[in-house]
Chains A and B, each alone.
Chain A
Amino acid sequence: MTSLTLHKQITGWGRYPRALCHLYRPERVGGVIGTLQHAEPNGFLPRGLGRAYGDAALNSEGGIILMERIDRFLAFDESTGVVRCEAGVSLADIISTFLPRGWFLPVTPGTKFCTVGACVACDVHGKNHHHDGSIGNFVRSLTLLLPSGETVRCSREQNPELFYATIGGMGLTGITLEVELQLRRVDTGWMVVDYVRTRDLDETLRTFHERDEHYLYSVAWLDCVAQGRGFGRGVLMFGRHATVDNLPPARRQNPFTIPRKRDKSVPVDLPEFVLNPLSLKAFNGAYYATHPSREGVFVDYNTYFYPLDSILQWNRAYGKRGFVQWQCVLPYENGMENLTRILETAQRRHAYPFLSVLKRMGESSGGILSFPMPGYTIALDFPIRNGLFEVLNELDKIVIEAGGRLYLAKDARMSAETFHTTYPQLPRWQAVKTQVDPKGVLQSDLARRLRLMEVAK
């Protein structure tokens, strides 16, 4: 079977960094296996829909296996809600196929334009992490293609160490071909949301702790520009799936039908001056002002989970140089102090994030390289400017001291030292990697940058 490649420069969602890769796009499972027969000095890496922010799905001068065409549903049990599908199925496809039958994703990141295989590779979390943990908790089994050409199934019972190395393993332990996923039963496509506006960081965290046990979903938007008394103020959004009874009578007939929104698009790269401290202040102030505390607001699932998906190519808003998202998790112990240090350091150095999101995390899924741990996770979007990375290095130091870590799916620039210090289970992961991929066929720019296969000094 001839299989042409495309030699092309690609990027992650943050559009930084860029990488020249050989793109393969198999259309059948046999084609994925066939791809590995080619000679690629820098090996191969599976890639979903390119929504990882940094270099997690880049492989400079190596092979990229686009998994988007390996997207068939293989089985679905209507009574238990367990779906078995190929790794290239998108979350959007899962929702549109199964929501009309009363099933929703058990965990979802902030975009539905990503593949289920990539979600497992990043062990993605959502607004319900404090309650349910990450997607790894809902994966029943995986079918992996190993570099040897062997196809293996793994689960908590079968090849468990490979299973836990693959969940959050950034696609480096094998090419995930199939995922068996437990979906969540829902009655409607609607959410009931309580908005709580807080005055400062203390109130923000307190409100989280007081209230989020009662909600499946919780998340806070933070005003990272506000200083002084308003420092750390934000809008908390507590949500749950609406039942049919919750719906206005007119909607009860078709509880899964939600209004279709017209997609907007950012047609060109916005110039850098658009996102300056003044405009950020204005935006943050306006967002805060227009989101007063309100209870029991009805929104459709798209509006609640995927507010940015309707703005196509919103990553262009950050300009040509792109942006990085810096997301860390900090243990609860001294969490308030550490969060304060991070936000203050960023402000003092005039690194104003355009968007900042705060969540609470619960227990880890057990994925060896999984990001989540109990604590606060904060995600900050920074357009790339001169001097930004020095600031972020300072923030990294705070995270190391706090005993936290950074999220690999978002990272584009942390140092190998930072990574090795903050992911203490790395040797355990390396043992699995060495076993299934002794020649290092599966690689990525991220893996090389973080020296994933090297033993820490």
Chain B
Amino acid sequence: MRGVLIVGATSPLARYMAHEFARLGDTLFLAARDMDELQRVASDVQVRFGATVHTGRFDAAAVETHEAFWQEVLRVLGGLDGVVWVAGTMDGLEDAFREPQAVRRLIDVNFTGAASLLTLAACYFEERGKGFIAGVSSVAGDRGRAQNYPYGAAKGGLSLFLQGLRNRLSKRGVQVTTIKPGFIDTRMTWGRDKLPFLASPQRVAKESVQIILKGKDVAYVPAIWWLVMLVIRSIPEKVFKRMSI
């Protein structure tokens, strides 16, 4: 029985990832800011799978609280086998094009918070010599686009951070996986015009957990995004800046 920490657990993707781990019999620690929602998600996993589920409040942007949070998780679970980072937000993106505070907030939640907590996780697993870290980044982090680069930059930073962690920890038997989902049918995409390859959170969650457990390094979910991003990354900047992608 593994102990797995899922951060940002109130999102649909994280919720269904929790389902997948619980189905396998893992003990979970779910963390998020909205405690009422978190309790609902936790109860759901308990009722459906009879899993042991702990909860704790976690604010990605409040970096000064992360150490205490981490110790709490270790104390409650009595040791940890995996950490899954799902927290992220696109809220405030519009403001982030103009306001320094808004762009900082976006980067704090999506990048700084992740880097902070995963540093604690990295040290812990490095010392134990086993375990896994998985981070949900985004295809948005593969190339800066006019429409969402503040978000994309933070996700790009996260992808690079995870890449570095992977290279640091691989020698110590710790697996680091970067998940790069495309469009997921959630609040972030709701109300937007027809998006290509829109996938349900259930599907992305299921595939993501399989990828993590197989110990892959980097994976696009659904896999078609590997090809899409290969094309998008290979467009010369000169051309790209004139396109409206």
- A-B interaction: yes
Which chain A residues have a beta carbon within 8 Å of chain B's beta carbons?
1-6, 25-31, 69, 72-76, 83, 86, 97
Q: How far is the CA of A101 from the CA of B184 in the complex (A)?
A: 32
Q: Let me know if A25 and B37 touch, CB within 8 A.
A: no
Nearest CB of B to A176, in Å: 15
Which of B39-47, B117-125, B153-161, B168-176 lies at the binding interface? B39-47
Q: Let me know if B191 and A73 touch, CB within 8 A.
A: no
Nearest CB of B to A265, in Å: 18
Q: Let me know if A29 and B191 touch, CB within 8 A.
A: no
Most buried by B among A3, A5, A6, A28: A28
Which residues on the B side are within 8 Å of A25 (C-beta)? Answer: 187, 190
Question: Does any Cβ of A come within 8 Å of B10's Cβ?
Answer: yes
Question: Does any Cβ of A come within 8 Å of B34's Cβ?
Answer: yes
Nearest CB of B to A97, in Å: 6
Given A4-B190, A69-B12: A29 and B37 within 8 A (CB)? Answer: yes
Q: Let me know if A74 and B191 touch, CB within 8 A.
A: no
Sorting the interface of chain B by its residue count into under 10, 10 to 19, 20 to 34 or 35 or more gives 10 to 19
In the complex, which residue of chain B has the Cβ closest to the Cβ of A8? B191
List 26 contacting pairs A-B, 8 Å CB cutoff, sorted by A: A1-B91, A3-B187, A4-B187, A4-B190, A4-B191, A5-B191, A6-B191, A25-B187, A25-B190, A27-B12, A28-B10, A28-B37, A28-B40, A29-B36, A29-B37, A30-B37, A72-B41, A72-B43, A72-B44, A73-B43, A73-B44, A73-B47, A73-B48, A74-B47, A83-B47, A97-B47
Q: Interface readout for B219-244 with A: 1 if CB under 8 Å, 0 if not?
A: 00000000000000000000000000
Q: Which of A4, A28, A30, A97 contacts B48 (CB 8 A)?
A: A97
Q: Which of A27, A76, A86 contacts B186 (CB 8 A)?
A: A27
Q: Restricting to B20-43, which residues have a CB under 8 Å from any CB of A?
A: 34, 36-37, 40-41, 43
Which residues on the B side are within 8 Å of A97 (C-beta)? Answer: 47-48
In the complex, which residue of chain B has the Cβ closest to the Cβ of A71? B44
Q: Restricting to B69-111, which residues have a CB under 8 Å from any CB of A?
A: 91
Which residues on the B side are within 8 Å of A30 (C-beta)? Answer: 34, 36-37
20 more A-B residue pairs beyond the given contacts A29-B40, A30-B37, with a C-beta to C-beta distance below 8 A? A2-B91, A3-B187, A4-B191, A5-B191, A6-B190, A6-B191, A25-B187, A27-B12, A27-B187, A29-B37, A72-B40, A72-B43, A73-B43, A74-B43, A75-B43, A75-B47, A76-B47, A83-B47, A86-B40, A97-B48
Which residues on the B side are within 8 Å of A5 (C-beta)? Answer: 191
Q: Let me know if A74 and B44 touch, CB within 8 A.
A: yes
Nearest CB of B to A171, in Å: 21
Q: Let me know if A74 and B40 touch, CB within 8 A.
A: yes
Nearest CB of A to B39, in Å: 9
Enumerate the 3 nearest inter-chain pairs by beta-carbon distance, A residue then B residue, closest first. A4-B191, A72-B44, A73-B47
Q: How far is the CA of A26 from the CA of B191 in the complex (A)?
A: 12
Question: Does any Cβ of A come within 8 Å of B192's Cβ?
Answer: yes
Q: How far is the CA of A5 from the CA of B43 in the complex (A)?
A: 29
Most buried by A among B10, B34, B36, B43: B43
Q: How far is the CA of A83 from the CA of B36 in the complex (A)?
A: 19
Most buried by A among B10, B11, B47: B47
Q: Restricting to B173-222, which residues have a CB under 8 Å from any CB of A?
A: 186-187, 190-192
Which residues on the A side are within 8 Å of B48 (C-beta)? Answer: 73, 97
Which residues on the A side are within 8 Å of B41 (C-beta)? Answer: 72
Nearest CB of B to A1, in Å: 7
Q: How far is the CA of A157 from the CA of B206 in the complex (A)?
A: 43
Q: How far is the CA of A26 from the CA of B43 in the complex (A)?
A: 19
Q: How far is the CA of A14 from the CA of B62 in the complex (A)?
A: 51
In the complex, which residue of chain B has the Cβ closest to the Cβ of A73? B47
Nearest CB of B to A242, in Å: 26
Which residues on the B side are within 8 Å of A28 (C-beta)? Answer: 10, 34, 37, 40
Nearest CB of A to B221, in Å: 19
Nearest CB of A to B157, in Å: 23
Which residues on the B side are within 8 Å of A75 (C-beta)? Answer: 43, 47
Which residues on the A side are within 8 Å of B37 (C-beta)? Answer: 28-30
Nearest CB of B to A47, in Å: 15
Q: How far is the CA of A13 from the CA of B67 in the complex (A)?
A: 53
In the complex, which residue of chain A has the Cβ closest to the Cβ of B15? A72
Q: How far is the CA of A74 from the CA of B10 in the complex (A)?
A: 14
Which residues on the A side are within 8 Å of B191 (C-beta)? Answer: 4-6
Which residues on the A side are within 8 Å of B44 (C-beta)? Answer: 72-74
Q: How far is the CA of A97 from the CA of B40 in the complex (A)?
A: 17
Which residues on the A side are within 8 Å of B192 (C-beta)? Answer: 4
Which residues on the A side are within 8 Å of B187 (C-beta)? Answer: 3-4, 25-27, 31
Which residues on the A side are within 8 Å of B40 (C-beta)? Answer: 28-29, 72, 74, 86
Which residues on the A side are within 8 Å of B91 (C-beta)? Answer: 1-2
In the complex, which residue of chain B has the Cβ closest to the Cβ of A26? B187
